Amino acid sequence: MNKILLSGRATKEPEIKYLTSGTCVCNFTIAVRRDFKDKSTGNYESDFFNCSAFGKTGELMGEYIKKGDLFPIWGKSQNRTWEKDGQKHYINEVMVEGFDFPPKQNDLPF
């Protein structure tokens, strides 16, 4: 089974593109804070996940998600490879199937 659920913050404004077919693609990175602090600094560390959302989900995310917003996403992990200038490139990304809208700032418990 390939399912992933993450809750984190957008690291920058989502990028919207349209394929030649007219399908919307929304690309963004989400930072997910780890549950423990670094012993040497006392700060929380984060993991960063590249994400892509297609179609209506991509359009909604591009419209409503802003840099710094905290929100959950769910989908599946996918590996992708491509070749450019004779070099083979690899990426692992989250293919977003759904998300919840970010809460209003005054609704956050912290």
- Report residue 107's pLDDT band, with 50, 70 and 90 as the boundaries: low
Could you give the CA distance from residue 105 to residue 103 in angstroms, rounded to a whole number? 6
Q: Is the sign of the CA dihedral 14, 56, 33, 81 positive or negative? A: negative
- Mean pLDDT for the chain? 92
Maximal C-alpha separation, the chain: 51
pTM of the model: 0.83
> How far from the centroid of its chain's Cα atoms is residue 13's Cα?
11
The structural domains of the chain, with segments of one domain joined by +, span 4-36+43-107
Spell out the alpha helix ranges (H) of 17-65: 55-64
Q: Are 68 and 46 in contact (CB under 8 A)?
A: no
Residue 96 in this model has a pLDDT that exceeds 90? yes
What is the tens place of the pLDDT at every residue in 12-57? Answer: 999 999 999 999 999 999 999 998 888 888 899 999 999 999 999 9
User: Is CATH 2.40.50.140 correct for 4-36+43-107?
Assistant: yes
